[in-house]
C-alpha cells in the first residue's frame, strides 16, 4: 500500500476508462442492438424496415463493435504496460470506478452526439424515444458519478 | 411465396431446390462462384444453416453474395452520407479516447503530489 501510494494512478484510470467504454459498448451492442434490436446505428436516417436497410444498419453496427473492440484492446494494452513497468497502484476501487466512469462517459457523450444533436438513431425509436434517450443520458450520469466516487474513495484509501 | 415458406431439416431437398433456383448454386451444388469465392459463406454452410437451424429461407437469402447483399454494399458505397455516418460513429469514441489520454498524462499521484 505504501509503495502504491507513490505510483501515479493516471494509467490505471485511463485503462479503466477504455475498458469501461469497451465493455459497456459490448453490452450495448449485444443487448440493445442484437437481442432487443433497438438502437441500430442508422435507425433514424435509414429505418431497418426492409432487408437492405437492415443490412446497412448491421454493417454500421459491425463497425461500432469493431471500434469497441479496438478500444478494449487499447485499455488492455495500457493496463498491461503499466503492470509490466510496475507503475500502477493496485487499487480495485480506482479500477472499477474508472471502468464505470468510462461506461457512463461513453453513454452520455454518445447519447448527446448521436441521439440529441444529430439524431442518427435513438435508443428505442418510436413515440417514446425521447424518454428512452433521456434514460440513456441519465444512465451515463449515474455510471459516471458512481465511477468518480469510487475513484476518489480509492485515492483516499491509498493516501491513508 | 418463398419468403413465407418455412422449412425444417426434413425438407432439405426442397430448400436446396429453392436455393438453386435463386441462383445461389450451380447444378450439382459444386461450382457456385459467388458463394465459393474466398471469404464468402460456403454454400454448404448456408444450406445447413437454412435447413438444420430451421430458419426461413429469407435469412439464407441475406448471404453476402445474394442480390440484397449486393444492393446493401452498393448503397453503402454510393450513399453520400456514408462518411458522415462513419464520423458520427467514431466521434464519441474519439472523445473518450482523448479523456483517457488526458487522465493518463495528468493522473494524480495518489497523495504525494503531482510530481511524484
Please report residues of A whose CB lies closer than 8 A to that of B62: 51, 55
Q: What is the pLDDT of residues B48-84, one digit of tens each?
A: 666 656 555 555 455 556 777 788 888 999 999 999 9
B60: containing domain: 9-65
Does residue B110 have a pLDDT over 70? no
What chain B residue is nearest to A8 in terms of C-alpha separation?
A: B109
B114 within domain boundaries: no
| B18 in any annotated domain | yes
Which site among A3, A14, A71, A144 would you substitute to test the B interface, given the most B Cβ atoms closer than 10 Å to its Cβ?
A14
Mutate to test the interface with A, among B107, B114, B116 (most CBs of A within 10 A): B107
- Determine whether the interchain pair A56/B72 forms a contact, defined as Cβ–Cβ distance below 8 Å: yes
CB-CB neighbors (< 8 A) of A120 in chain B: 85, 88
Q: What is the pLDDT of residues A69-112, one digit of tens each?
A: 999 999 999 999 999 988 888 999 999 999 999 999 999 999 99
3-state helix, strand, coil in chain B (%, to 5): 60, 0, 40
In terms of pTM, does the model score above 0.90? no
- Contact at 8 Å (CB) between B92 and A114? yes
Q: How many domains does chain B have?
A: 2
Do B16 and B51 sit in the same domain of this protein? yes
| Residues B16 and B55 both lie in one domain | yes
Same domain, B61 and B101: no
Whether B96 sits inside 8 A of A114 (CB atoms) is no
Residue A142 sits at the vertex; the CA angle it makes with A139 and A146, to the nearest 5 degrees, is 140
If asked whether residues B16 and B57 sit together in one domain, one would say yes
First to last CA, chain B: 73
**Residues 10-69 (B) with a CB less than 8 A from some CB of A:** 58, 61-62, 68-69
Residues B57 and B86 in one domain: no
Q: How near does any CA of chain B get to the CA of A92, in Å?
A: 14
Nearest to A99 by CA among B11, B10, A91: A91
Q: Is the pLDDT of residue A5 over 80?
A: no
Q: Looking at chain B, which residue has its C-alpha nearest residue A82?
A: B104
Q: Is residue B58 part of a domain?
A: yes
For residue B115, being part of any structural domain is answered with no
Q: Alpha helix (H) ranges present in A4-160?
A: 10-27, 51-85, 92-110, 129-159
Whether residue B53 is found in the same domain as residue B30: yes
Residue B72 lies in a domain: no
In a domain, B112, yes or no: no
pLDDT for res B18: 61
Please give the pLDDT value at position B71.
86
**Distance, CA of B86 to CA of B101 (rounded, Å):** 22
To which residue does cell 504496460 refer?
Answer: A81
ipTM: 0.93
Report yes or no on B2 lying in a domain.
Answer: no
pLDDT band per the 50, 70, 90 thresholds, residue B1 = very low
Please indicate if any CB of chain A lies within 8 Å of the CB of B80: no
Q: Is B113 contained in some domain?
A: no
Distance from CA of A73 to the nearest CA of B (A): 12
Asked if residues A89 and B54 have their Cβ atoms less than 8 Å apart, the reply is no
Q: Chain B residues with CB inside 8 Å of A71's CB? A: 93, 96-97
Neighbours of B44 (CB within 10 A): 12
Give yes or no: residues B94 and B52 share one domain: no
pLDDT class of B33 with cuts at 50, 70, 90: very low
> What is d(CA B116, CA B110) in angstroms, rounded to the nearest whole number?
9
Shared-domain flag, residues B85 and B60: no
Amino acid at each position: 500500500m505504501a509503495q502504491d501510494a507513490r505510483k501515479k494512478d493516471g494509467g490505471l484510470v485511463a485503462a479503466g476508462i477504455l475498458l469501461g467504454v469497451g465493455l459497456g459498448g459490448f453490452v450495448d451492442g449485444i443487448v440493445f442492438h442484437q437481442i432487443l434490436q433497438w438502437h441500430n446505428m442508422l435507425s433514424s436516417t435509414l429505418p431497418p424496415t426492409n432487408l437492405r436497410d437492415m443490412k446497412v444498419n448491421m454493417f454500421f453496427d459491425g463497425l461500432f463493435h469493431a471500434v469497441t473492440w479496438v478500444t478494449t484492446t487499447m485499455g488492455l494494452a495500457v493496463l498491461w504496460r503499466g503492470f509490466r513497468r510496475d507503475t500502477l497502484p493496485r487499487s480495485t476501487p480506482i479500477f472499477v470506478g474508472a471502468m464505470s466512469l468510462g461506461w457512463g462517459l461513453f453513454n452520455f457523450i454518445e447519447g448527446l452526439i448521436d441521439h440529441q444533436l444529430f439524431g442518427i438513431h435513438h435508443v428505442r425509436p418510436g413515440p417514446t424515444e425521447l424518454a428512452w434517450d433521456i434514460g440513456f443520458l441519465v444512465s451515463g450520469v449515474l455510471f459516471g458519478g458512481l465511477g468518480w466516487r469510487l475513484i476518489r474513495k480509492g485515492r483516499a484509501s491509498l493516501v491513508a | 411465396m418463398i419468403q413465407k415458406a418455412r422449412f425444417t431439416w426434413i425438407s432439405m431437398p426442397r430448400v436446396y431446390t429453392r436455393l438453386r433456383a435463386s441462383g445461389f448454386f450451380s447444378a450439382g451444388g459444386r461450382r457456385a462462384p459467388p458463394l465459393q469465392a474466398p471469404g464468402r459463406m460456403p454454400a454448404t454452410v448456408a444450406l445447413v444453416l437454412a435447413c438444420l437451424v430451421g430458419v426461413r429461407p429469407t435469412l439464407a437469402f441475406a448471404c453476402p453474395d445474394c442480390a440484397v447483399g449486393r444492393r446493401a454494399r452498393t448503397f453503402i458505397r454510393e450513399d453520400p452520407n456514408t462518411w458522415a455516418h462513419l464520423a458520427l460513429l467514431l466521434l464519441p469514441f474519439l472523445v473518450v479516447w482523448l479523456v483517457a489520454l488526458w487522465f493518463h498524462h495528468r493522473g494524480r499521484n495518489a497523495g504525494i503530489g503531482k510530481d511524484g
